Amino acid sequence: MSPANVGYQAPSVSVSSSLPKRKVDSSVLIVPVVNGDDNSAPKVLTSPFLDTKAVVEIEAALESLDAKGGAEQVTRVVVPSLPVSSVLAVGLGKQRDEYDADVIRRAAGAAARSLNGAETALTTLSDTDLSATVEGLILGAYRFADFRSEKTAPKDAGLRTITALTSAKGQNDVAQRAADIATAVATARDLVNTPPSHLFPDEFAKRAKALGEAAGLQVEILDEKSLEKAGYGGIIGVGKGSSRPPRLVRLTHKGAKRKGKKVALVGKGITFDTGGISIKPAANMHHMTSDMGGAAAVVATVVLAAKQKLPIDVIATVPMAENMPSATAQRPGDVLTQYGGVTVEVLNTDAEGRLVLADAIVRAGEDQPDYLIETSTLTGAQTVALGARTPGVMGSDEFRDRVADLSQRVGENGWPMPLPEELKEDLKSTVADLANVSGSRYAGMLVAGTYLREFVPEGVQWAHIDIAGPAYNSGGPWGYTGKGGTGVPTRTMFAVLEDIAANG
Ligand code: BES
Ligand code: MN
Ligand code: ZN
């Protein structure tokens, strides 16, 4: 792999202040429409790029097709007077003075999901919110075809260029930043979507290294021998049931000027979670290919931080292991020693995420960061509490609220959750410092967060983002999210890094 070809290859994006003079082959013009009063035909959102004649033609075509213009509804029409092969109307719902960025992002995503092989997308949606449009288009057009032969390769994956029409001046950098963010999300999606047969700890580490080096990061990989020697008992314990040994990857972006902040990122990288000896039921076990979603997002985020030259230091610490049952696997009842010396009774080998994360958090703490953000597909209890689209955010009260707030602003919708003091009692062990699970069925997401809190150094502002549901879309496509890996919470973490760079 040459450096330029590492990571997801997004369509190229440019901005323009006018429609092309001549017809562009294999192109589509994406036009936002709103539904007026109930049952009236959709209206084209007023745009300096469409003259009255074009608007009348589009609206007449939509009316004849009985289109409604509801949010994310798409309708393809042919308008011969415009310099494109077809027009794709996408609904924004009811007309408003202003639209939420995520309404625009989802509309752009829904449009891109229905492009049917168009190679060039032009859009006037960008005049409403350029960043959201570009992100939505790239993410909606995302396809994962690495494991398809020509026979079944998706025929709708042809998007090569995006032209964002905007009447504002000097918007090139804005469009490029949005494209870089979407590319990072798509890179995280690619890693999640790569099956566990092909993405195991050593391979994941190599890909992280290639991505990191292409972005100018310092990369360090600890193999199983170094991990054993340095006392990473959690990573070794979880990884020892697999024939494919664990890794710990460290990726460093040095961007801080004088007084610049240092942020540690930690992501759970279980390349497949069978549960180990405490084995999971067969139904939907294949979803556990997403159990490295936190790690994928962390790798994508630190690479993005370097590409955007953020003036802070960002150090990613990423534990990678495969949780398998075998004659060499750890047993329920085993005791291991986490990196740094805390002993743990492993009552349930399926609560493996917290074991690899505790080692990584202690290691990350040695760098004395100001902030620590950790993210993981940690508990089924997260989906019970918040569902498949709402990450649970825990940690230091103030920083937790800041992370959740930024997450909502970027449309990833993290929600703050508490870590009640009394839950620590449930993690008492009769033989070791801690047990890895509580005896209670209650508040599983918070108990896992409570376990992690034990390993965060005093004085570090930290946030734990549980993405068990949100990392992987097992339902139908919606907005800019297709089936499979979602890349969540890459945009949340990047927004937090940008906020720290700007405000400390
Ligand atoms: N990787 C799972 C959590 C998970 C569940 C992620 C569903 C995505 C979808 C994690 O390792 C796990 O197995 N957690 C256990 C913890 C329990 C044993 C305390 C769980 O949630 O059941
Ligand atoms: Mn598990
Ligand atoms: Zn797991």
What does the DSSP assignment read for 88-127?
EEEEEEE--SS--HHHHHHHHHHHHHT-TT-SEEEESGGG
Name the helix (H) or strand (E) containing 318.
strand 313-323
Among the listed residues 177, 240, 354, 491, the single catalytic one is 354
Would you place residue 1 in the very low, low, confident or very high pLDDT band (cuts 50, 70, 90)? very low
DSSP annotation of 351 reads -
Q: Are 42 and 34 in contact (CB under 8 A)?
A: yes
Binding pocket residue ranges, ligand 1, CB within 6 Å: 273, 287, 291, 348, 350-353, 377-381, 437, 444, 468
Q: Which two tokens stand for residue 181?
A: 């963010």
SS3 376: strand
Per-residue pLDDT for 3 more than 80? no
Range 417-423 average pLDDT: 98
- Strands 262-267 vs 313-323: parallel, antiparallel or unpaired: parallel
Q: Residue 37: its pLDDT value, please?
A: 65
Query: What residue ranges define each of the domains in the chain, with the CATH number in brackets?
Result: 12-182 (3.40.220.10), 200-503 (3.40.630.10)
**Ligand 2 centroid from CA 285, angstroms:** 10
Range 419-425 average pLDDT: 97
| Cis ω before 311 (30° cut-off from 0) | no
Identify the nearest ligand to the CA of 270 by its number.
3
pLDDT in tens, 147-167: 999 888 887 778 999 999 999
3-state helix vs strand vs coil in the chain, percent to 5: 35, 20, 45
Q: Which two tokens stand for residue 171?
A: 């918007």
Q: Are 413 and 402 in contact (CB under 8 A)?
A: no
Q: φ and ψ at 503, to 5 degrees?
A: -120, 0
Would you place residue 5 in the very low, low, confident or very high pLDDT band (cuts 50, 70, 90)? low
pLDDT in tens, 432-461: 999 999 999 999 999 999 999 999 999 999
Name the residue at shortest CA distance from atom 16 of ligand 1.
351
Q: Residue 4: its pLDDT value, please?
A: 52
Q: What is the DSSP string of 29-83?
A: EEEEEEE-STTSPEEEPP-TTS-HHHHHHHHHHHHHTT----TT-EEEE--TTSS
Range 409-437 average pLDDT: 98
Name the residue at shortest CA distance from atom 6 of ligand 1.
468
What is the end-to-end Cα distance of the chain in Å, rounded?
37
Give the number of other Cβ atoms within 10 Å of residue 339's Cβ: 25
Would you place residue 38 in the very low, low, confident or very high pLDDT band (cuts 50, 70, 90)? low
Q: Which residues contact 116 (CB under 8 A, 6 or more apart)?
A: 76, 155, 156
Name the residue at shortest CA distance from atom 22 of ligand 1.
380
Q: Structure pTM?
A: 0.98
Range 303-324 average pLDDT: 98
Ligand 1 atom closest to Cα of residue 436: 19
Tell me which residue of 142, 143, 112 sits closest to 126, measured CA to CA: 112
Q: Are 450 and 362 in contact (CB under 8 A)?
A: no
Q: Are 296 and 192 in contact (CB under 8 A)?
A: yes
Q: Give the sign of the dihedral formed by CA 340, CA 345, CA 350, CA 351.
A: negative
Ligand 1 atom closest to Cα of residue 280: 13
pLDDT in tens, 127-139: 999 999 999 999 9
Q: Are 132 and 104 in contact (CB under 8 A)?
A: yes
Q: Residue 314: its pLDDT value, please?
A: 98
Residue with tokens 């999210």: 481
**Ligand 1 centroid from CA 469, angstroms:** 10
Question: Which of 348, 355, 378, 379 to probe ligand 1 with, by most ligand atoms within 8 A of CB?
Answer: 379
Name the helix (H) or strand (E) containing 14.
strand 12-16
Q: Which residues contact 469 (CB under 8 A, 6 or more apart)?
A: 382, 383, 386, 387, 388, 389, 390
Name the residue at shortest CA distance from atom 13 of ligand 1.
350
Among the listed residues 68, 206, 280, 453, the single catalytic one is 280
Q: Catalytic annotation on 148?
A: no
Tell me which residue of 263, 268, 262 sits closest to 248, measured CA to CA: 268
Q: Residue 154: its pLDDT value, please?
A: 81
Q: Are 320 and 269 in contact (CB under 8 A)?
A: yes
For the packed helices 172-193 and 130-140, what is the interaxial angle rounded to 10 degrees? 30
Beta bridge partners of 415: 392
Q: Are 186 and 10 in contact (CB under 8 A)?
A: yes
| Mean of per-residue pLDDT scores for the chain | 96
Name the helix (H) or strand (E) containing 293.
helix 293-307
- Whole-angstrom Cα distance, residue 33 to residue 21? 24
pLDDT in tens, 376-397: 999 999 999 999 999 999 999 9
Q: Which residues contact 430 (CB under 8 A, 6 or more apart)?
A: 345
**Ligand 1 centroid from CA 273, angstroms:** 9
pLDDT in tens, 86-124: 999 999 999 999 999 999 999 999 999 999 888 999 999
Q: Catalytic annotation on 169?
A: no
The least confident of 34-43, 77-86, 262-271, 288-297 is 34-43
Would you place residue 258 in the very low, low, confident or very high pLDDT band (cuts 50, 70, 90)? confident
pLDDT in tens, 59-73: 999 999 999 889 999
Q: Are 176 and 158 in contact (CB under 8 A)?
A: no
Name the burial class of residue 243, with classes exposed (0-12), middle (13-18) and buried (19+) by CB atoms within 10 angstroms of its CB: exposed
Name the helix (H) or strand (E) containing 372.
strand 371-376
Name the burial class of residue 70, with classes exposed (0-12), middle (13-18) and buried (19+) by CB atoms within 10 angstroms of its CB: middle
**Ligand 2 centroid from CA 471, angstroms:** 15
Give the number of other Cβ atoms within 10 Å of residue 221's Cβ: 18
Would you place residue 2 in the very low, low, confident or very high pLDDT band (cuts 50, 70, 90)? very low
Q: φ and ψ at 152, to 5 degrees?
A: -120, 10
Give the number of other Cβ atoms within 10 Å of residue 442's Cβ: 10
Tell me which residue of 81, 86, 80, 83 sits closest to 20, measured CA to CA: 83
